[in-house]
Structure 1
Amino acid sequence: MAKPVLFVLNGPNLELLGEREPEIYGSTTLADVEAMCRAEADSAGFELRFHQTNAEHEMIGWLHEARKGAAGIVINPAAFSYAGYPIFDALKMCACPIVEVHISNIHRRDEAWRAHSLMTAAATGMITGLGVHGYALAIRHLAQLAG
């Protein structure tokens, strides 16, 4: 029997985790985040599709793959949060639960525009400000929903 599939999707600049603004995002790399997500997914009995892109069309392609049949989506849209209307539309087409994750607390950032993610209206829930641990919490939540 095939394992249910979870998608963990990461937006622009997240390939620079561990280097980019460590005072905000910490020193954990995206490879570390992927390893943590794989461990969580494995222990919950999920297959994991983990991706990062700086290109909107790639993100939309992965969302189209997940649209039917995925057990859930964890998405850190990063800067797509603020101008990614095509990604928002693709998220709305997904039948599975969606958890939006942000490493920093977007509501406490200096730039007021960061507090208004377009994606939130398409998400089942949001985790913000809990660092990279938000990814593991999102996977645990999706596993509980799949229960």
Structure 2
Amino acid sequence: MTRTVFILNGPNLNLLGRREPATYGAETLDDIAGRCRRRADALGLEVDFRQTNAEGTLVDWIHEAGDKAFAAILNAGAYTHTSVAIHDAIRAVALPVIEVHLSNIHNRESFRHVSYIAPVARGIICGLGPVGYELALEALAGQQDNRATD
């Protein structure tokens, strides 16, 4: 049975590589997707990598992941700090989720210090750039579909 991890990316991440490279780095989202696919293959995982600027689409994808994936990696972008809807969607599907951020949200503006995702996430990786996605895949690779263990 294939173990699929949904990797979901939120607003403005489609602009990586040209958006504030001092903060987010020079790699594009396609570069990060390639890293994730290579790492997942080495770990025996399959990834479904997506990006949207729409909050409702992220909610729909979390619902879909609840049916089709054993876990998810979520970089909700700015929705991390504002979206009760995304928080509720994760809670509703009881899917193991690792929250990922390219930058360290805790050494940026104070409004970025609060995450609505964190209370329902299995873990958080921030500030390590694109390698954070790969570390999240490694963390998930050794886990079974253990949604009810938290």
Which residue of structure 2 lines up, in the alignment, with residue 72 of structure 1? 71
Q: Superposition RMSD on alpha carbons, in Å?
A: 1.3
Which residue of structure 2 lines up, in the alignment, with residue 36 of structure 1? 35
CA–CA separation in structure 1 for the residues paired with 2:135 and 2:37: 13
Stretches of structure 2 that go unaligned for 5 or more consecutive residues are 146-150
How many angstroms does 1:144 deviate by?
1.4
Superposed CA deviations along residues 89-128 of structure 1, whole A, max 9, x for unmatched, are: 001123332100010000001x101011111011010001
Which residue of structure 2 lines up, in the alignment, with residue 123 of structure 1? 121
Amino acid of the structure 2 residue aligned with 1:88: H
Given that 1:68 and 1:95 are in contact with CA atoms closer than 8 Å, whether structure 2 keeps it comes out as no
Given that 1:71 and 1:142 are in contact with CA atoms closer than 8 Å, whether structure 2 keeps it comes out as no
* Residue 18 (str. 1) matches residue 12 (str. 2): no
Stretches of structure 1 that go unaligned for 5 or more consecutive residues are none
CA–CA separation in structure 1 for the residues paired with 2:143 and 2:20: 34
More displaced 10-residue stretch of structure 1: 18-27 or 84-93: 84-93
Which residue of structure 2 lines up, in the alignment, with residue 94 of structure 1? 93
**Identity level (%):** 45
SS at structure 2 position matched to 1:15: helix
How many angstroms does 1:69 deviate by?
4.5
Given that 1:44 and 1:140 are in contact with CA atoms closer than 8 Å, whether structure 2 keeps it comes out as yes
- Aligned residues between the structures: 145
TM-score by length of 1: 0.94
How many angstroms does 1:145 deviate by?
1.5
Which residue of structure 2 lines up, in the alignment, with residue 57 of structure 1? 56
The 4+ residue runs of structure 1 with deviation greater than 2 A are none
CA–CA separation in structure 2 for the residues paired with 1:40 and 1:94: 26
Superposed CA deviations along residues 11-57 of structure 1, whole A, max 9, x for unmatched, are: 00000011000000000100000000111111112221100000011
CA–CA separation in structure 2 for the residues paired with 1:23 and 1:141: 27
CA–CA separation in structure 1 for the residues paired with 2:85 and 2:115: 13
